[in-house]
Amino acid sequence: MNFAPLPSVDAAAVPSDGFVLDVRENDEWAAGHVEGALHIPMSDFVGRFGELTAAAEDGRRVHVMCRVGGRSAQVTQYLVQQGIDAVNIDGGMQAWDGAGRPMVTDNGTPAFVL
């Protein structure tokens, strides 16, 4: 079998207006996330796939995020197989935080990576 390398991008290189898909679980999302990101936990992903295709129907690149990059790599692989322009964010939220990128919470408390 021929496995193409997984498309990935450094957290610091994600455009500020880039479309981010966060596949972490609800407690991780609540602790801190990228403002404007679409949150679909990996555990719910197949059942909620239509939410992503609707959000990405304009063909824009989907930047897939988890805590360190493992779950997002699996989801990125799936999306690429579906013909969606998707890239894995190397290092996930830990790299995002490490690069000093902004994070928010839904309740206004200080954001952190769980």
Active site residues: 66
Q: How far is CA 91 from CA 82, 88, 101, 108, in A?
A: 23, 9, 13, 25
Residue 10 phi/psi, 5° resolution? -70, 145
Rounded distance, CA 78 to CA 74, Å?
6
CA separation for the pair 34, 102 (Å, rounded): 7
